[in-house]
Amino acid sequence: MDVQRIYSKNASYQRFQVLKTNRNKRHRYGAFFVEGVRNLNEAVENGWQVESFLYAIDAPLSSWARGLLASVPTQGNYALAPQLMAELSGKGDTSELLAVVKMRPDDFSQLRALGNPLWVLFDRPSNRGNLGTLLRSCDGLGASGLILTGHGVDLYDPEVVVASMGSFFRVPAIRAGDNASVLGFIQKMRESFPGLRVVGTTAHRQRPVYQEDLAGPLLLMVGNETDGLCHAFKEACDVLCTIPMAAGSSASSFNVACAATVLLYEASRQRQGANAS
């Protein structure tokens, strides 16, 4: 495999920088920046296409890093001057290996639609940490895929990838181009899964989530951190549910990532109970 050495902030280096910092150029290139042992392992194990690996010139590499370089096909790798590698790395101790990974298409066919699906829709996410946390919860609690809608946080932002702790590469996630495409997907899934329930979330007092049947095919909708679900998605829901707060609590609602995790846990709990009976 060809290795290009970089000693200055040339065009190749500048491309790496914009993949980390510039959303528009990231999507123009169709690639994103990945750092961290767990993230790199999950990307490779889950079949994501690695465009390039980056490492410091003459740095001693671990057997793990050497193994990835030897076994993962790329378009070409880059050896950077140590100070340039340190500037690209988002860690105090410079990562020994970074990667540029190709994006996957935003297509509803990417979502798993088999068995007893459990999808999550996140409407206009505005916080990178929340999106990364939700990806982790989707992974840990068995969600079939995640749909992002509206103008919000970039799915491929490095902070989202890091916050997901590797789950980014395990959960099928797409960005819906418009609300109409989501509503079309819902209609199609209602035809494929006649028992599909579309359950929205709200901070207002509505039906407690534990009273709702979440054991069958399910689409959970969670809204923007400030404004909640948009009107179109509320109208598409079969029911709006809430997580009741403790009596006397000063908290009126949970952080959106926490709320989604609670809902996913309740759905998982009900599904496990249904399978055991």
Task: Supply the CATH number for residue 38's domain.
Answer: 3.30.1330.30
CA-only gyration radius of the chain, Å: 21
What is the pLDDT at residue 219? Answer: 98
What is the pLDDT at residue 264? Answer: 96
What is the pLDDT at residue 44? Answer: 98
The band of 227, judged by pLDDT with boundaries at 50, 70 and 90, is confident
Helices 63-71, 37-45: axis angle to 10 degrees equals 30
CATH number at residue 116: 3.40.1280.10
DSSP per residue, 142-174:
T-SEEEEESS-S-TT-HHHHHHTTTGGGTS-EE
The band of 1, judged by pLDDT with boundaries at 50, 70 and 90, is low
The band of 104, judged by pLDDT with boundaries at 50, 70 and 90, is very high
Pair (134, 68) in one structural domain: no
Give the mean pLDDT of the chain: 93
State mean pLDDT over 105-113: 94
Does the pLDDT of residue 125 top 90, yes or no? yes
What is the pLDDT at residue 52? Answer: 98
Pair (69, 10) in one structural domain: yes
Does the pLDDT of residue 253 top 60, yes or no? yes
Q: Is 231 exposed, middle or buried (0-12, 13-18, 19+ CB in 10 A)?
A: exposed
Coil, strand or helix at 7: coil
Given 37, 71, 102, which residue is the final one in a domain? Answer: 102
Pair (140, 254) in one structural domain: yes
Residue matched to tokens 């759905």: 267
pLDDT digits (tens, 9 = 90+) for 152-177: 999 999 999 999 999 999 999 999 98
Residue matched to tokens 């959960």: 171
What is the pLDDT at residue 202? Answer: 82
**Length of the chain counted residue by residue:** 277
Domain count, the chain: 2
Q: Which of 210, 217, 204, 207 is nearest to 253 (CA)?
A: 204
Q: Which residues constitute the domain of residue 26?
A: 3-102
Pair (177, 87) in one structural domain: no
The band of 251, judged by pLDDT with boundaries at 50, 70 and 90, is confident
The band of 207, judged by pLDDT with boundaries at 50, 70 and 90, is confident
What is the pLDDT at residue 255? Answer: 86
Pair (178, 84) in one structural domain: no
Pair (153, 230) in one structural domain: yes
- Which residue intervals of the chain are DSSP H helices? 11-21, 23-29, 37-45, 63-71, 82-88, 128-140, 158-163, 179-192, 231-236, 256-276
Pair (113, 93) in one structural domain: no
Q: Which of 158, 168, 110 is nearest to 136 (CA)?
A: 168
Does the pLDDT of residue 277 top 80, yes or no? no
Pair (7, 75) in one structural domain: yes
How far is residue 85 from each of residues 69, 80, 81, 95, 186, measured CA to CA in Å?
17, 6, 6, 8, 45
What is the pLDDT at residue 218? Answer: 97
Pair (178, 152) in one structural domain: yes
pLDDT digits (tens, 9 = 90+) for 126-136: 999 999 999 99
Decide: 74 and 51 in contact? Cβ < 8 Å: yes
Does the pLDDT of residue 275 top 80, yes or no? no
pLDDT digits (tens, 9 = 90+) for 24-70: 999 999 999 999 999 999 999 999 999 999 999 999 999 999 999 99
Pair (59, 112) in one structural domain: no
Residue 207 or residue 48, greater confidence:
48
Given 102, 125, 156, which residue is the final one in a domain? Answer: 102
Does the pLDDT of residue 10 top 70, yes or no? yes
17 is written with which tokens? Answer: 């920088």
Given 75, 102, 129, which residue is the final one in a domain? Answer: 102
